[in-house]
Copies of this chain bind each other. A is one copy, B any other.
Amino acid sequence: DFMNALEEVHPAFGVSEEELQQVVQNGIIRYDAVVDELLRTGQLFVEQVRTSTRTPLVSILLHGPPGSGKTALGATIAQLSQYPFIKLITPDNMVGFSESQKVAAISKVFSDSYKSPLSVIVVDNLERLLEWTPIGPRFSNAVLQTLMVLFARRPPKGRRLLVIATSSLRPVLTEIGLSESFDSELRVPPIATLRALENVLHAVQLFHTSEEANNARRLLSQAGFASDEADETSATLHIGIKKLLSIIEMARQEPDNMAERLTGALMGLGM
């Protein structure tokens, strides 16, 4: 009945593909070496789960500031694994769920995964799954306890599972005792160098001429952004790839003025 189980799994897999597609639709821009490194490390865990008999369960956490690309990276690692069971657990699909409906939905994905010899589950946006709010603070303890148990529960004999969770509130995870559940933590940093920024601008073709690009570079320098993160006298760039892409699109609305709006928006962030 292993064959049977796999049958059952397939359709779920199909759905997941689409969901994963959705979250990576803008693609991964390799604006910095760290991007490659994160993908490669993810790949290593994929291999460990596939091969080591002693660790049938590995859980990792992708954390970093809002919009730094955690979801896109997690989903990409999952897709690249080519495991027969790939599934995304995301609050986007749980709007209006009661606490117990959430617990049931999450738990079902893990149970389903046990039917596949090799599975990867992306648990996206832990803070929203937990309904965390700093006032109180309040959160769903039922969801928290469920995650804690599931992240540590060994799959049945002969099954292997990789869990990839994402969060932009790592200190909160520590506070509530959830970070101990992970075998490893990977930090997804914001964009912090002019070079990385320019790589993104280049990739999304904001400027059509190199003149425009040079002009922008000059404006950014004048605004105090240094090309090197280590230069301590310069203004600090600190922006998630997601927000940066959004700012770029706003700038694009005023074709005559793109460099200025871009610089203005970046300068406005810290205040």
Contact = CB atoms under 8 A, between A and B. Distances in A.
Interface of A: 22-23, 25-26, 44, 47-48, 51-52, 54-55, 58, 66, 91-92, 94-96, 98, 100, 103-104, 107, 128, 131, 133-135, 137-139, 141-142, 144-146, 148-150, 153-154, 156-157, 175-177, 180, 183-184, 204, 245-246, 248-250, 252-254
Contacts of A95: 103, 107, 146, 149-150, 153
Contacts of A250: 44, 48, 55, 183-184
B103 A100 contact: no
Contacts of A141: 131, 133, 138
A175 B135 CA distance: 7
A98 B100 contact: yes
A254 B47 CA distance: 11
Nearest to A183: B246
11 contacts: A22-B156, A25-B154, A26-B54, A44-B250, A44-B253, A98-B100, A131-B145, A134-B175, A135-B137, A135-B139, A183-B250
Copies in the complex: 6
3 A-B pairs with least C-beta separation = A52-B249, A55-B249, A131-B145
A133 B180 CA distance: 13
A233 B175 CA distance: 31
B100 A154 contact: no
A149 B177 contact: no
A187 to B, nearest CB: 13
A52 B252 contact: yes
A139 B177 CA distance: 13
Contacts of A245: 54-55
A66 B146 contact: no
